[in-house]
Amino acid sequence: MPASDASASVPRLVLDHLAITARTLDEGVAWVRDMLGIEMPPGGSHPRMGTHNRLLALGPADFLEVIAVDPDAPAPGVGRWYGLDSFNASPRIGTWILGTPDIAASLPHAHPDSGPAVEAIRGDLEWLISVPEDGSMPMQGAYPTLIQWPAGPLPVTRMQDRGCSLHSLTIRHPDADTIAARLNGQLHDPRVIFETGPVGLAATFSTPSGQRTLG
């Protein structure tokens, strides 16, 4: 459903985190270190998806994730999220994730390739996230994944803050206007910019060593 048809009953979406996809976790962590001058703090593993990650707080409400296939985990019976089953490139921002208080109410207004909401687990934390059956990302990652955290403090409050914050996020896609229109009325974040062009995401961060960009 186009965002122009969205009513006040559609949940508001907020930027939750950025996912850097990598062939290996070490490769992704090294890329962030080289580009931002920051060492990614520990994360955890995701048994359902056979992946593991590192996590960096970007402030009180959003964070940066590096995620890759966990070579020590058994292969899942579903497609790994973020297209990791077929990912074979240098690390990059694979997609962006928007939080919703009610994923069941948000999904009917999302891109039709967003997939259903599935349960995910990392340690003692459980949440719901939109994942297509094959693990692919809608619009090659330019359209956001949706996530619903359990009630209570956001998981970012448990993560290490190393003085890095998000300054801006640029979403590039040949149909960027379509993405912006679908999210209109649901997402209100001046940091998010839509540009028409080849598919890609770029983020600029304020770091202890100045502004740095990934993308």
Per-residue pLDDT of 64-123, as tens digits, reads 999 999 999 999 989 999 999 999 999 999 999 999 999 999 999 999 999 999 999 999
Give residue 79's pLDDT. 94
Predicted model pTM: 0.94
8 pLDDT more than 70:
no
b/e map 66-92, b = 16+ CB within 10 Å = bbbbbeebeebebbbbbbbbebeeebb
- In the chain, the domains with their CATH numbers are 3-161 (3.10.180.10)
Q: Residue 13: what residue type?
A: L
6 pLDDT more than 60:
no
Give residue 77's pLDDT. 87
Q: pLDDT grade, residue 200 (50/70/90)?
A: very high
Q: 34 CB contacts (<8 Å, ≥6 apart)? A: none
Q: In terms of residues, how long is the chain?
A: 215
Q: Write the pLDDT tens digit of every residue in 21-50.
A: 999 999 999 999 999 999 999 999 999 999
Give the strand order in the sheet containing 192-196: 192-196, 165-173, 200-207, 210-214
Give residue 45's pLDDT. 96
5 pLDDT more than 90:
no
With a pLDDT cut of 90, the percent of the chain lying above it is 93
Quick check: helix, strand or coil at residue 83? helix
4 pLDDT more than 60:
no
Burial (Cβ within 10 Å: 0-12, 13-18, ≥19) of residue 130: buried
